[in-house]
Amino acid sequence: MNSIELIAFMLTSLIVLLLMRVPLHVVLAVVIVVSMLLYGGLETLWSVFSEVLSDGTTWGLVASVFAVSWLVSLYTMSGVVYRLGENLSKLFRSSLLSMTMVPGLIGLLPVPGGALMSAPIVDSLGSRMGLSRGRRLFVNVWYRHVIVYVYPLSSVVILASAVTSVNLWLLVLSQVPIAVFMFLVGLPLAGLKPERIVGGISWGLLARDFAPIALAIVFALILAPLDVLLGAERVSVAVGVLLSIAAFIFIHKVKAAHVVRSLGDRRIYEIAVISVEIMAFRAFFLSIDLGPIVGVLKSAGVDGPLLAMVLPIFFSTISGHPTAGIAIAAPIVESALGVSSNTAFLIYASAFIGYIASPLHLCYIYTAQYYNTSIIEGYKYMVPATIASLIAAFIVFGGLSYP
């Protein structure tokens, strides 16, 4: 089976099984294992899983996601999240700002599982506003990434700047109009309206309830050297969140029985399993010969600015990460079209926006899992927002590059 047939099989299988409402961790396991067997047999299966399970990055991800999921479970089971959501909505004085700013600010936590921290707050606010689970899923993922899209300390922005040899700040500033467009285009799709919220804020409770989340971010940043020391990404996040869990238990005087009960939340373990599956999927993807796919695109007339958009979208979508879209597509695009600032801007925008809607995007998967809903439900809103944003980026950067 060649790479084109394999990827067609993967995407079709994912869609069919998800529509059948098979649990996501089961879907990923089946698709990954069968795909590996079809492509390279038991040798490929053994090679990929040996690589993934011996990689410190995998266990750093699993540890950080497990810790974040546990913190979220404590917030939810204790009822603190609902009080926090109410106070945050009063703080921003607007349900619209609360729903859009909270995921974005918490989204600065440098870990995919960070989406889980804002998920219960968006869930609490969204349910009071009458939003469906699909819309809540869309809001939590979409507005988490609008800020990260133009965040100068984002590893994706830094990578894009390095790979395309474009100044970091120039790259960030070029994307600001697209970020504004993304923010605005998401509002009607999410059903968000600027409703004013009145009422006094309990500042003491707000500080107490938000403190563990803030501490998790601060601890993760302070402990960042641990990742280099141990040679495993996101260990600092895992340790930082565990320290914030201790702070949560102390601040809210959580009883031992409730701590144990929070650890019984099955979603914690399902999300940890999904993390390993996604890492296996990415490792397998990187071992596939992608040459035939590029050849098919070019023979179909996909060239010029369209190539600079389609290739990054494709690689980001099937890998579930924007770095793949940038690292793999950029050299191909630049060899075909030459190097220019606007080409680099289009590559970055396409890779990042395309990844947001990927069925393998960890934030999207984790949020859907937390809300106990299919990722298909969120696509009613995610797909139109993604297409509109990509068109906007294509008009701005593609039009400017190729008059």
As to burial, measured by CB atoms within 10 angstroms (0-12 exposed, 13-18 middle, 19+ buried), residue 75 is buried
pLDDT at 164: 80
Task: Tell me which residue of 387, 393, 313 sits closest to 150, measured CA to CA.
Answer: 393
Task: Tell me which residue of 331, 325, 389, 332 sits closest to 361, measured CA to CA.
Answer: 325
Task: Tell me which residue of 276, 286, 345, 280 sits closest to 315, measured CA to CA.
Answer: 286
Q: What is the pLDDT along the chain (403 residues), one digit of tens a residue?
A: 777 788 788 878 877 887 787 887 888 889 889 989 998 889 889 999 998 898 887 888 788 878 888 888 888 788 887 787 777 777 777 777 888 888 887 766 555 556 777 888 888 888 888 889 999 999 999 998 998 898 876 768 877 887 787 888 898 899 999 999 999 999 999 887 766 766 677 888 888 988 888 888 788 778 878 777 877 667 887 888 899 999 999 999 988 888 998 888 887 888 788 878 878 877 887 777 766 776 776 676 666 778 888 888 988 887 777 877 787 777 777 766 666 788 889 999 999 999 998 888 888 888 888 888 888 899 999 999 999 999 999 999 876 544 4
Please enumerate in sequence order all residues whose Cβ is within 8 A of that of 387, keeping only pairs 6 or more positions apart, or say none: none
* pTM value surpassing 0.75: no
pLDDT at 143: 92
pLDDT at 388: 96
As to burial, measured by CB atoms within 10 angstroms (0-12 exposed, 13-18 middle, 19+ buried), residue 214 is middle
Amino acid of residue 118: S
pLDDT at 245: 92
How many other β-carbons are positioned within 10 Å of the β-carbon of residue 20?
A: 9
